[in-house]
Structures are given as structure tokens and as C-alpha cells.
Amino acid sequence: MSENLLVPCAQCASLNRIPRDRLGQTPRCGHCKAEVLGERPFELNTGNFARQCKGDLPLLVDVWADWCGPCKAFAPTFAQAAAQLRGRCRLGKLDSEANRELAGRLGIRSIPSLILYRDGREVARQSGALPLHPLLAWLNGQGI
């Protein structure tokens, strides 16, 4: 029997029990029926941030802003990482301009910034954009 993991839905943040051996498939949310683990980064905001940090899979947050050139240049790399890490790590994007209070609480001083959460707690932080392979290596060093 496979171990069940609690995973927040990327759309509605409802917690779903998913067998570990099904993480690579396309499990659907029991509440909203959306894919729980999409192949693309999902949007984070003040309203869903705390719920999205919960669960048994790590969450990598890209803090960005629309006016930030390096943030825009990093977006395709982050999307590639999301597809490659599906079932091992969830990737979300937090717009620092639209969520200024939350960005302030997170201590964001520069963007893009990457914050890795495990069990609802910050475990690592990286400032600046990274190419895909160094990003994956950094996450591998964090146990992802």
C-alpha cells in the first residue's frame, strides 16, 4: 500500500490525499476537480499563500514583479523547472507588486527571489535568477 501525501490543490488550495505512487500522474482535486499538480507554476497571493505552504510536498516560490526585466527573463526557466519537478516539488509565483504586504512580511529585498518551503516553513532562499541546470542543482542540494 502506497503512502498518502497531503497536497494542496494549485487552484483552490484544498488539501488532497494522494498516494505517493500517483504523484507523477494527473490527480484531480476532490473539491474543485482541477489538476492538483499541474506542469506550470501557479499563482500565489495573500489569500492563498498560507494554505499553499501546507502539505507534504515542498513549495518553491518565485517572487517577481511585472516591471522587472530579470523576472520576465527567468519566467520560462521557472516554467521548465515546474514541468521537470512535477510530483517532487510544487512551484508558485508571487507578484510582489500585487501582494506588497506579503512580500514585506517575507522580507523580500530584491527580485527575483526564490524561497523554498517545506512543512510550512522556509528552509532555503536564493536571490536572483538562475539558469535551469543551476536551479535544479540548488534544489537537489536542498533534498528535492
Instruction: Give the active site residues.
Output: 68, 71
Nearest Cα to Cα of residue 43 among 96, 98, 93: 93
* Residue 102 in grid coordinates: 506579503
Distance between CA atoms of residues 83 and 20, nearest Å? 18
Query: What CA–CA distance (Å, rounded) separates 142 from 101?
Result: 28
The DSSP code for 108 is -
Which H, E and C letters describe 28-69, residue by residue?
ECCCCCCECCCCCCEEECCCCHHHHCCCCCCEEEEEECCCCH
